[in-house]
Amino acid sequence: EVKRDGRDSYMEYSPSFAEKNVSKIVLFEDLKKAIEENQLLLHFQPKYGLAHNQIEGVETLVRWKHPEKGMISPGEFIPLAEESDLIIQLGNWVLKEACYQYKVWEQQSYINFHLSINISPKQFLHPDFTDNIIQVLEETGMSPLKLDLEITESLAIENTESTIEKIQILKQYGIQISMDDFGTGYTSLSYLSMFPLDRIKIDRSFIQYLPDNKDHKAIVQSILTVAKNLNIRVTAEGVETQAQLALLHQLQCEEVQGFYFSKPVPPDSLLAHWNAQLMSM
């Protein structure tokens, strides 16, 4: 925003450093309260398998319904939580709540899809992470075979050894591991062979300008080829148009996710999507 200061020159208007930090501290205190006072809630976005045109998984995406400010996006409060140990508490809340939700769906219907949960690097690297997951699975009765953890490239690059070790432990339980936002973190494709991954999710920024952007098409194609050879499934995220879908189909991408199919929705709507699909089978 540019403000005229009366003397025919222009001054940048932006909140001062102090202003920004005060509002950040306020938001941080609010977020602490939000976890305790149940202001957080979960939405779920389906992932479709192109081979059978079915929901293969659902991704858990946290939402914050702030009492005064309304809905705050995770893009705003997750990075804030990641600056402290609050992300551990938040992450544990999401994990437990999502697994409980899965069990509730199981009681409501015949469901057969996996549940993905985004894990922040700090949470993944915490020494109690694996034990905690196993405990939540026992407590909720959710099958480890249905759980999929979405980790990030930066985690894998900066903590390669310990990440591989931890993935191996989780895989012994049958838990699936996906690499989220693939392509944004400067990992080379050769990195993929180092991690025992079940799935990679190609970042939306490479899908957004398909089918016209030839460079992005080439990148997506290379990722698909390498992943296929390494036996890793590929999900394209952020699919919004029929034209994007058609190209991804042609390139033999296996899984797609995006607003073209569904936005993230509350638990009841997600189950309604699933049940509608069951009826048509």
Judged by the rule CB under 6 A, the positions of this chain that interact with ligand C2E are: 45, 60-62, 73-75, 78, 91, 94, 118-120, 150, 180-181, 237-240, 258-259, 264
The distance of closest approach from Cβ of residue 132 to ligand C2E in the complex, given in angstroms and rounded to an integer, is 14
Q: Could you tell me whether strands 40-49 and 114-118 are parallel, antiparallel, or unpaired per DSSP bridges?
A: unpaired
- Residue 187: which of Mg ion, ligand C2E, none does it interact with, CB under 5 to 8 A by kind? none
The distance of closest approach from Cβ of residue 116 to ligand C2E in the complex, given in angstroms and rounded to an integer, is 8
CB 113 within 8 A of CB 58: yes
Dist CA 120 CA 75 (whole Å)? 13
Q: Strand, helix or coil at 82?
A: helix
- Residue 46: which of Mg ion, ligand C2E, none does it interact with, CB under 5 to 8 A by kind? none
The distance of closest approach from Cβ of residue 62 to ligand C2E in the complex, given in angstroms and rounded to an integer, is 4
The distance of closest approach from Cβ of residue 271 to Mg ion in the complex, given in angstroms and rounded to an integer, is 21
Dist CA 190 CA 223 (whole Å)? 10
Rank residues 30 and 238 by Cβ distance to Mg ion and give the closer one: 238
For residue 220, which phi and psi values (nearest 5 degrees)? Answer: -60, -45
CA angle 244, 155, 234 (to 5 degrees): 30
The distance of closest approach from Cβ of residue 218 to Mg ion in the complex, given in angstroms and rounded to an integer, is 21
Dist CA 88 CA 106 (whole Å)? 27
Dist CA 14 CA 149 (whole Å)? 39
Rank residues 150 and 153 by Cβ distance to Mg ion and give the closer one: 150
Q: Which of 179, 228, 237, 242 is nearest to 203 (CA)?
A: 237
Rank residues 260 and 278 by Cβ distance to ligand C2E and give the closer one: 260
- Residue 244: which of ligand C2E, Mg ion, none does it interact with, CB under 5 to 8 A by kind? none
- Residue 78: which of ligand C2E, Mg ion, none does it interact with, CB under 5 to 8 A by kind? ligand C2E
Dist CA 56 CA 115 (whole Å)? 9
Rank residues 22 and 266 by Cβ distance to ligand C2E and give the closer one: 266
Q: Strand, helix or coil at 5?
A: coil
CB 248 within 8 A of CB 264: no
- Residue 267: which of ligand C2E, Mg ion, none does it interact with, CB under 5 to 8 A by kind? none
The distance of closest approach from Cβ of residue 27 to Mg ion in the complex, given in angstroms and rounded to an integer, is 21
Rank residues 94 and 248 by Cβ distance to ligand C2E and give the closer one: 94
CB 48 within 8 A of CB 255: yes
Torsion angle of the four alpha carbons 238, 242, 243, 246, in this order, in degrees rounded to the nearest 10 = 90
Rank residues 237 and 254 by Cβ distance to Mg ion and give the closer one: 237
The distance of closest approach from Cβ of residue 63 to ligand C2E in the complex, given in angstroms and rounded to an integer, is 7
By beta carbon distance, the residue nearest ligand C2E is: 258
Rank residues 50 and 78 by Cβ distance to Mg ion and give the closer one: 78
Binding site for Mg ion (CB under 5 A): 118, 150, 180-181, 237
